[in-house]
Chain A
Amino acid sequence: MDDRFRTGERVLVSLPDSPGHHRAPRYVRGHVGTVLAVHGRHVLPDDVVARMAEPHVEPVYAVAFAAGALWGAGDHTVTVNLWESYLEPAEEGR
């Protein structure tokens, strides 16, 4: 399966607010970042924790966020590793 996102693409961290384990820090949820690189393909921790017999394997992306967007202040970036199913394409203008 091809990677859904490409380097440089803007992505929105969009997780269902469902019970269970998600390997995404709360502070990036609902925020838009930029894909820097693909950091391999890995089993989805959500599935592992749910003890699924055949957990999904997905690309994991290094996504950079502007501090100003995350915290309302700061001129740095924070880069977080996020599984493909945590992400959707960001709408234009975000």
Chain B
Amino acid sequence: MSEGHHHDGSIAQQVREVEAELEASGIVSAAELEAILDAMRTPADGARVVAHAWVDAAFRERLLGDATAAIEELGYSMHGGVRPQMLVALENTEAVHNVVVCTLCSCYPIALLGPSPPWYKSEAYRSRVVREPRAVLSEFGLELAETVEVRVWDASAETRYLVLPLRPRGTDELAEEHLAALITRNGMIGTASL
């Protein structure tokens, strides 16, 4: 970067300037960026997958066996990035609680959940949840019984994880789209129960 371009501005300001530089140099066009943003997923997309797994036992089996392939049934894909990624679904049960982190950087199932929350990228979360997950989860408001086994999954560029949360009790009568509304982003990372 040439001299005189050093900034201490806000992240948003810096991003706008990088974007302008990329467009000016022909590396990306505004239309391409627009298309990427339009295709950006949100936690509601992950919630659709989870709700479907709750109501359709056969889909649940396929999701737990090969999540990368199973989400394609619902129109999602892990193959949109620079390199193909593998998605692995982690099943929470009464006896096992899963929680996801990326200690080396911030790997996250963006293709399904959209951008990760800021805390997911924080050094505090990344360094502490592998060491003392029960304490970290407690700070998120999730108190797990001592009998519940905790499994922490350190994601990588190649493998992204989706937690399949426990279906809340008393929701047997709810339709799939109403179930989806109960499913939170943190529930699919494993830092909350539903």
Contacts and interface: CB of A to CB of B under 8 A. Distances in A.
A39 B154 contact: no
Which of A70, A74, A76: most chain B CB closer than 10 A? A76
A86 B86 CA distance: 20
A25 B104 CA distance: 7
Given A23-B104, A76-B150, A76-B151, A81 B130 contact: no
Contacts of A25: 103-104, 154
Nearest to B146: A75
Interface stretch (B113-121, B131-139, B166-174): B131-139
A40 B68 CA distance: 12
Contacts of B86: 39-40
B42 interface: no
Interface in A39-94: 39-40, 42, 45, 60, 62, 64, 67, 70-71, 74-81
Contact of A81 (B132, B150, B152, B154): B154
A62 B151 CA distance: 13
A64 B103 CA distance: 15
Nearest to B133: A76
B104 A77 contact: no
B158 interface: yes
Contacts of B152: 76-79
Contacts of A71: 131
Contacts of A39: 86, 88, 158-159
Contacts of B154: 25, 78-81
A39 B86 CA distance: 7
Contacts of B177: none
Interface string A16-52: 0000000101010000000000011010010000000
B142 to A, nearest CB: 14
A79 B153 contact: yes
Given A39-B86, A39-B88, A76 B159 contact: no
Interface of A: 23, 25, 27, 39-40, 42, 45, 60, 62, 64, 67, 70-71, 74-81
Interface of B: 83, 86, 88, 103-104, 130-134, 149-159
19 contacts: A23-B104, A23-B157, A27-B103, A27-B130, A39-B159, A40-B158, A42-B83, A60-B159, A62-B159, A67-B131, A74-B132, A75-B149, A76-B151, A77-B149, A78-B130, A78-B152, A79-B151, A79-B153, A79-B154
